[in-house]
Structure 1
């Protein structure tokens, strides 16, 4: 092999080695950008992506991503500020409405104790019903805003899920009896313990059972598993799969629940998530299945 071929071979080897090193550096820079991007999205930090590579194209890419991260951070702060202001305003409004609504309800009670004509009794009953609905909505608005605006207000302790569920079911005995519902209850033999807020858990169960009583066609199946999954299933032909997907939306109600505020399930999901759990709604073969999951 002549000197020229040796020189050509050496040049090729050098070029391949150089390209391999450059490719390795680019791949390392891409990994740094990917890890940095995920870290910045997950955490609430003002730091930006920094890479070790001196490659112009990769540094330009990192710079463009940093510019978008700064824009995203500004939008997030603006949203958080607006959200906090809205929650504070709704909380104050709902709190201020409590006193006049309580007075109105009190005077309506007094009025119903007076001698009224048949029409006056009918109108008074309608007014009382609408006032009670408004008071319920005001209370739910207040609770909803308190739940969302106080992320650290939980008192965590060991809780027996089965015992808590039995207590909630017992409190709904009269409601189920009135609606002709005899719940089928399935519990594991062993205790299912989780570290949760007992009052918040009771609220979650209460809202789920209230929803079941509201939508049920006459049946209810409640099951607790040792893994910490609680399902509330009832036949409900009045609902559709599309409506079930919207049940956790704020203020969403269906025609069958016109007296609902549309906040109960939103509150239940918010509380479940704050305790590290999950709340899921499914529509399976004509049945509404609400599942609360507490794995930890």
Structure 2
């Protein structure tokens, strides 16, 4: 036992530090002062006035009281009252009067006030006042405490603002929000008004549990989706799906439901946070889009079918017109007969060119024009076009010039070779047609920057008026030239402009009425490639009979075409014709007549020509049987596909008689020397 400890009457040890100090002792005063100065809250004693009208005064404040209010610690006690009243926020001073009235009436009071410190900062404090009464119940002084609650107020304000923002969001967006306890059974513990509105339920008149409402509104085929969503959430996986609900008025609505797992502090899933969005309008738009796409696909298929059929139907009769006219040209005719046949051939070829141009424009507008983009030698393209138009220029008395030594002529462009030649021929033909005798047409090429080549065709013709330039590329608009006697349909420039655009280039035109025009075609430049030398095609002249008798099996259902081929074969002794208008019968005849060559049309009454080709290649020995397609379908894609499928050549209708004769000579030779497959167009 220590020296400071004493034993009580009951033998227990008493510690003087825990005994009550005699009141009024110096030790008690010292301990109370230490406690007051180090407490976390402010203490004060306020002496009430003895007589009415006399001022009250503070008799004690601790250091914390002054510190919380931002008052100096050396402030005299007599000055505290005025300093405190001055520190109260102006908007809160009316509350201090009410507090004074309450504690003077002997009632405990408390208030929350804002205090403005000398540095201008604002602090929130909670002030409490407790009356101290004498033995007779009279009020003698007031004990007060002051506690800084600024952090509490700020936190409460932030929480309240966050809650308000959440409710503003949840109550005003058209998306349903839910929180669901995922126990068994699950229970929806929160939903916003939009959730019930989506279900078609008045939020103020819901007369059954929300969980039951949700299931009762769900389409019977989609109820299982709720079970799947709960299974996913309980497994810790989010769920995203679509369901249908049926509202009380029978309206069917689509919802997109998303559920995300909510975990407790131990990582255990106990809730699902969900959103429910009405996507009926989107579903309707998607259905409308699918229908529109289906209609567009059907219209596009119909257009493609129309183009294919028109190509066949228009070119097939021209086959007879041009074919028999070409045969007549090969005969010994009088001058007048030759002149008449010449008109037939020129008219037929003009009509064929017009048909091709119309079908090309239709193909471009249907976005089904097939191009073969490759490096094209500038000089060769210009030279070929000039060579083909030169006879027309000579007949019209127009000088047509091209300098093959210009620097750009040795370069290459990215283009479809056949389509580029078609564009250049159109421009040159127009430059000659709309010129005058003694006029000139100049063709050139120039490099534009480092990545483009511009083809230029300039003429000294009649030019185009400024007001007509906007109509330049309108199909079939000849801008008043119908009565000029100049042959044309007003389609060449429109087609050329579209072809250039399809090849990734652009078209420009400048003209001065009465002086002439300049047309430019700019295309992307290509890297240098070895430019092949193309040997001129041989002219099909009369040849002697072949060393063997050759049979041509012609599978064709158009009798005028058959008749034409009979006339062509008459110019090649040693060839005999076997004909059928049915694909199935043609396959049977292959083994019977052992043809040196099969000529096949694609449009047959009983089966497609492509199917005939496939079946032929499956027959024993059929894989090497020479076969040529003769069709009115001249699309490059079709030609390429069939060449790749194993045909030996592809010739287009109207037939060029000289090409057919060359073809016969080619296949009458030793089969081992037959050239590789090619297209003859």
Q: TM-score, normalised by structure 1?
A: 0.59
- Cα deviation 1:167-209 (Å, max 9, x = unaligned): 2212222222222222344664253322222222112111211
CA distance in 1, matches of 2:374, 2:324: 43
- Aligned ranges for residues 22-171 of structure 1 at < 5 Å? 82=299, 85-86=302-303, 88-104=305-321, 133-149=350-366, 151=368, 153-171=370-388
Q: TM-score, normalised by structure 2?
A: 0.29
State yes or no: 1:178 paired with 2:411.
no
Distance 1:108 1:276, change over 3 A: closer
1:213: Cα distance to partner?
A: 1.5
CA distance in 2, matches of 1:163, 1:130: 29
Unaligned runs of 5+ in 2: 1-88, 92-284, 526-681
CA distance in 1, matches of 2:389, 2:375: 24
2:492 counterpart residue number: 264
Unaligned runs of 5+ in 1: 5-67
1:135: Cα distance to partner?
A: 4.1
State yes or no: 1:294 paired with 2:511.
no
CA distance in 1, matches of 2:319, 2:414: 37
1:189 counterpart residue number: 407
State yes or no: 1:251 paired with 2:476.
yes
More helix by share: 1
CA distance in 1, matches of 2:342, 2:388: 27
Distance 1:196 1:82, change over 3 A: same
2:441 counterpart residue number: 220
The answer on whether the counterparts of 1:214 and 1:257 sit within 8 Å (CA) in structure 2 is no
Q: CA-atom RMSD, angstroms?
A: 4.7
1:278: Cα distance to partner?
A: 0.9
The answer on whether the counterparts of 2:464 and 2:513 sit within 8 Å (CA) in structure 1 is no
Could you say what secondary structure the match of 1:101 adopts? helix
CA distance in 1, matches of 2:395, 2:431: 14
Aligned length: 237
The answer on whether the counterparts of 2:465 and 2:513 sit within 8 Å (CA) in structure 1 is no
> Which protein shows a greater Rg?
2
2:552 counterpart residue number: none
The answer on whether the counterparts of 1:137 and 1:261 sit within 8 Å (CA) in structure 2 is yes
Could you say what secondary structure the match of 1:211 adopts? helix
- Cα deviation 1:113-140 (Å, max 9, x = unaligned): 9x9xx9xxx9999988766654443333
1:293: Cα distance to partner?
A: 1.0
RCO greater where, 1 or 2, for CA within 8 Å and sep 6 or more? Answer: 1
1:109: Cα distance to partner?
A: 8.1
More strand by share: 2
